[in-house]
Amino acid sequence: MNHLYAVSIFGLLWLSALPCHSSETPRKASFISDDHSVSYEVFDSSAGGPVLILLHGASGPDAPLYRSQAQYFTTKGYTVLLLHYFDATGSSAPSSQNYNIWVKAVQELARQCRNDPKWSKRKLALIGYSLGASVALGAGSQGIQVSAIADWYGSLPDEFFYRFQEMPPLLILHGAKDSIIPVINAQQLIKLCLLKGLICENHLYPDQEHGFMGNALDDADNRTIDFFARKLQ
């Protein structure tokens, strides 16, 4: 599977042009993973719905897309935890060592959610974008205790592909014209899930590249909300 991550000038301009769904300031928290302090931001919803761990892409947690998406999910009743998983390594390089450390950080935050009285009775899910989707898939393949995962144009890293254990109910959304993480990565994972009899809903956008724009972004949000609504009941 290919694991090339890049952020083009066009991509940065597109991210900066995205509107934010709310001006509410998230609160910050942290925990220890692999001897590193890892921070996350809590975007609260008053609805008391599921908890959603959001994993940003290679451009980092401050990119407007991820903050806008976090606010979007709060409007749908979710409490969103935007995890700064780069804190666990001090690096954004998608190496085998870093993937393993990032997955540990996601597992640790999920464990804390299950043990936190505020959240322990609420369903837990993951959503990842690009590099963050690959981290989410790595965690899912090792049996992380969440009820669902949404993968937006990511791929399962090779080291997790070859020691695949299981996967929570999975939604795969990918652009057929993606040249950064080619669509074959999504297609291979779909086949793997089918062979293992796992739940793997998917949609491939024939006109989209790496990242969704316009109607495709709205459609991806709607598909994700629908998938979570069914799997997190």
For the segment 89-106, what is each residue's pLDDT rounded down to a tens digit? 999 999 999 999 999 999
Helix ranges, the chain (H) = 9-16, 64-75, 96-115, 131-141, 158-161, 184-195, 215-231
pLDDT digits (tens, 9 = 90+) for 7-51: 332 343 334 334 444 456 899 999 999 899 999 999 987 778 999
All structural domains of the chain, each given as residue ranges with its CATH number in brackets, are: 22-231 (3.40.50.1820)
Which tokens hold the place of 104?
A: 């540990």
Rounded to whole angstroms, the Cα distance separating 76 from 225 reads 8
Q: How many CA atoms lie within 13 A of 61 on its CB side?
A: 19
